[in-house]
Structure formats: C-alpha cells, structure tokens
C-alpha cells in the first residue's frame, strides 16, 4: 500500500456506526456468539491475562455456551496457551495462531542488546544452549521461576544467574516465551509456573517472520477491521517488536487481498473477502457491560476516539468496567451485589433502562449472581 491508496476511490463507503456494528458481530458481542472459549480467544487474537477474572469475563461474555472455569480448563488442556506477548504483558493466545504474534514479538531480538548481555552475562552465542537447558528442565513438568532457576544454576554456565532468578527473572524469561521454549501454566500457591509446549499437539510452533507478519495482519483485519494503518501499527508494532518498516511491507504485500473503506472520511481496510458483509452491516444499539481492559478497546487502542471518547479514556486505561452502547464506550460500571452501578459520561446518549437491566441480568448469569442495574 502506498500514500496514493488514501487518495484513490474507496472500494466501499460505510458509516462509523455501520463499521462498529460489523465489528461487534465479529467480536461475538451482537449477537452474542456461540463459539467455545478457545475459539473466542483465537478470534480475538490475544486476551490480556494480567487479571484472570477479567480475562475469563472477556471471553465468556462473547460465548452463549461458556461456563465458569472454561478459560482455565482450556489452559489446562492446551486449547489455549498463556505467554508474554503484547507490550510485554501476559496474554492468552491460540496454540494454532499464537506463534505468529510471538514471532513478531521476538523480531527485536532484545536479548542481543549490549545492556542485556552485560546484565545477564549471556552472549547471543550462548542463547541456543541456554534455551535448550530451559527446555530440558521443563520436561518433567511445570516449574515456578524459582524452581527453574534452581535447576539451571546447578550448571556451571548459569550459576551467575542465581540472584536473577531469586529476584523473579521475569525479564529474562520473556524471550524464552517469545521463542516458544515455554509458556505459562496455572498458578501454584499464587506463583507463576512455566511449562513446556512440546507436549501440546495443538501448538503450531513459531513461524518464520515473513509468514507470521502477513498472517497477523490478516487476523487483525478479520476481527478489528475496518482498520487504518495506524491501528495495525499500534497492534502489531507498538505492541510487539516488528517495526514500522516491516509492517508497511506486509501491508503493501497484501494489497490484492484488501479492500479500501471510507469510514466517515477516514481511509481504512478490510480483507476483500469481508467487503460484502461489511457493506451489508447495520448499526447496532446493543448495550454491553464489558470488563476492564477488554479487547474491544485494547485492540484498536484507547486513543481511538471512535470507540473510546476523550472524556472516557482515563477511566478505560485504569481498568474500569466498560458500558458500551453501539460499540462506543459511554460509561463505566462497578458491581456491588446485587446491584451493578452504572455511571454515565457527559455528552453520550443514555440507553433504555430495559436494555441496561437485561445486560445486568446477563452479567449476573455469567458470574453466578442475581444482579440488576442501578444508576451510580
């Protein structure tokens, strides 16, 4: 894609409300989807896993067939994996597609930086053996970071890392996650565990970067389109380590697979195969109570004012529960059983009380509570 694409006639024109309506359907939010939790994770690309309570609600609110504990069960049986991914944070990923995002994350090769070499005493040439030692240590089952350190530092080459592991070693462990040497398992007594991916038959490994990049762009447009260049750069550049030059090249290479879309005067893109469904999309008036840091706002980024108006952004970045109306964040919610207190932001329309009550009841069914809405 080149600058001239922005001035050429678009393949189709849609309103912003149409675009959000189409994306709500792609997210399983209107109508609520019927896919199992692992497929929801795969569709979203990544689900932030810093807070497992929020992560579970994010996937379950998109699936009418979900049950409590489904996300952790999926982690246990390998139908989802957990890794350090976007912005260095913990995310749930699909074992079939997650390797593409990790390939992009590893593209910066941070472990080869002079500061890393000096701090950890591991030269770039030392990493193949170090990675092999980690994989070997995990063959017996999940280990905490401290336990992994105890195994590794029995070897003379890694004795100097004892203090690093005693202090947590999260930064050292991240490149091992990006390269597919390990993933994160269920917590044990509140402690993070690390486990091998070798025994997961669904794990597709880490693809070559030139394969991973276009695949990640396609996946993003499929769920978060119509998206601008800036959206793609935010998700796959700012969030990972691919770099703007590579991303621009991948976008350009996909030219024949994309359709240009005029969204309220802004040039955006979708996969050409999705153009007809986008053109036929209708605006949505759905009311959804979403958890903090939900992919609805994290995917396009909280700077996207079409989803997160300026007056709402501070609360959204602080992990507030989201009241989304027609795809736009219009307020926040907090739970004080048996009530869901809803606070509105100035300037936005207030949805019908009946729609709020129905969504509060739906939220209660997901959480195993009898809930009703209340104005904060």
Contacts 24+ apart (CB under 8 A), 238-246: 238/87, 239/86, 239/87, 240/85, 240/86, 240/101, 240/104, 240/105, 240/107, 241/104, 241/105, 241/106, 241/107, 241/108, 241/110, 242/104, 242/107, 242/209, 242/213, 243/107, 243/108, 246/107, 246/209, 246/213
Collect all residues with Cβ–Cβ distance below 8 Å to 149 and sequence separation of at least 6: 161, 162, 164, 165, 166, 169
Q: Out of 202, 234, 249, pick the residue that ends a domain.
A: 249
217 and 298 share one domain: no
67: left (phi over 0), alpha (psi -120 to 50) or beta: beta
Domain presence at residue 94 = yes
330 and 237 share one domain: no
pLDDT at 3: 38
pLDDT tens digit at each of 376 positions of the chain: 443 455 578 999 999 999 999 999 999 999 999 999 999 999 999 999 999 999 999 999 999 999 999 999 999 999 999 999 998 899 999 999 999 999 999 999 999 999 999 999 999 999 999 999 999 999 999 999 999 999 999 999 999 999 999 999 999 999 999 999 999 999 898 899 999 999 999 999 999 999 999 999 999 999 999 999 999 999 999 888 888 999 999 999 999 999 999 999 999 999 999 999 999 999 999 999 999 999 999 999 999 999 999 989 999 998 999 999 999 999 999 999 999 999 988 766 677 889 999 999 999 999 999 999 998 7
pLDDT at 141: 95
275: left (phi over 0), alpha (psi -120 to 50) or beta: alpha
Which of 212, 299, 217 lies closest to 254, judged by CA? 217
232 and 352 share one domain: no
Domain presence at residue 303 = yes
57 and 138 share one domain: yes
Split into its structural domains, the chain has a count of: 2
Which helix (H) or strand (E) segment holds residue 266: the answer is strand 266-271
Q: How many helices (H) and strands (E) does the chain have?
A: 17, 14
367 preceded by cis ω (within 30°)? no
- pTM as predicted: 0.95
125 and 34 share one domain: yes
Count of other CB atoms within 10 angstroms of residue 131: 17
Task: Compute φ and ψ for 170, nearest 5 degrees.
Answer: -60, -40
Domain presence at residue 212 = yes
165 and 238 share one domain: yes
Tokens 């992919």 found at: 295
Domain presence at residue 256 = no
Q: Range of 348's domain? A: 287-375
Domain presence at residue 9 = no
Q: Out of 249, 272, 302, pick the residue that ends a domain.
A: 249
pLDDT at 45: 97
Structure tokens at 288: 């959804």
Domain presence at residue 43 = yes
Domain presence at residue 200 = yes
43 and 167 share one domain: yes
155 and 205 share one domain: yes
178 and 72 share one domain: yes
56 and 146 share one domain: yes
pLDDT at 351: 76
Contacts 24+ apart (CB under 8 A), 229-234: 229/1, 231/268, 231/300, 231/301, 231/304, 234/300, 234/301, 234/303
159 and 240 share one domain: yes
114 and 214 share one domain: yes
Strand, coil or helix: 183: strand
Domain presence at residue 364 = yes
Q: Out of 191, 221, 249, pick the residue that ends a domain.
A: 249
């Amino acid at each position: 894609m080149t600058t001239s694409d922005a001035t050429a006639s678009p393949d189709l024109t849609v309103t912003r409300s149409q675009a959000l309506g189409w994306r709500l359907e792609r997210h399983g939010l209107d109508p609520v989807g019927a896919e199992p939790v692992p497929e929801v994770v795969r569709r979203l690309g990544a689900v932030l896993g810093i807070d497992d309570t929020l992560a579970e609600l994010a996937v379950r609110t998109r699936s009418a067939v979900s049950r409590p504990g489904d996300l952790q069960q999926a982690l246990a049986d390998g139908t989802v994996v957990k890794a350090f991914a976007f912005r260095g944070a913990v995310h749930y990923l699909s074992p079939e597609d997650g390797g593409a995002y990790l390939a992009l994350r590893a593209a910066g090769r941070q472990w080869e930086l002079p500061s890393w070499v000096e701090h950890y005493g591991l030269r770039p040439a030392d990493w193949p053996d170090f990675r092999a030692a980690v994989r070997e240590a995990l063959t017996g089952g999940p280990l905490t970071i401290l336990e992994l350190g105890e195994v590794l530092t029995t070897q003379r080459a890694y004795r100097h890392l004892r203090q690093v592991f005693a202090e947590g070693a999260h930064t050292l462990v991240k490149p091992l996650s990006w390269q597919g040497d390990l993933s994160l398992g269920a917590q044990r007594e509140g402690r993070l565990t690390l486990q091998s991916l070798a025994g997961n038959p669904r794990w597709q490994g880490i693809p070559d970067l030139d394969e991973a990049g276009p695949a990640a762009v396609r996946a993003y447009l499929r769920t978060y389109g119509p998206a601008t260049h800036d959206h793609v750069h935010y998700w796959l550049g700012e969030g990972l380590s691919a770099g703007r030059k590579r991303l621009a090249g991948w976008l350009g290479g996909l030219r024949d697979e994309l359709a240009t879309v005029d969204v309220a005067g802004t040039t955006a893109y979708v996969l050409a195969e999705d153009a007809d469904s986008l053109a036929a999309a209708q605006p949505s008036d759905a009311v959804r109570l979403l958890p903090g840091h939900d992919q609805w706002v994290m995917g396009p980024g909280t700077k996207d004012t079409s989803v997160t108006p300026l007056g709402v952004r501070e609360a959204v970045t602080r992990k507030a529960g989201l009241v989304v109306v027609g795809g736009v964040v219009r307020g926040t919610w907090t739970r004080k059983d048996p009530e869901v207190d809803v606070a509105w932001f100035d300037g936005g329309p207030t949805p019908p009380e009946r729609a709020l009550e129905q969504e509060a009841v739906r939220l209660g069914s997901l959480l195993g509570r009898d809930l009703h809405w209340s104005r904060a």
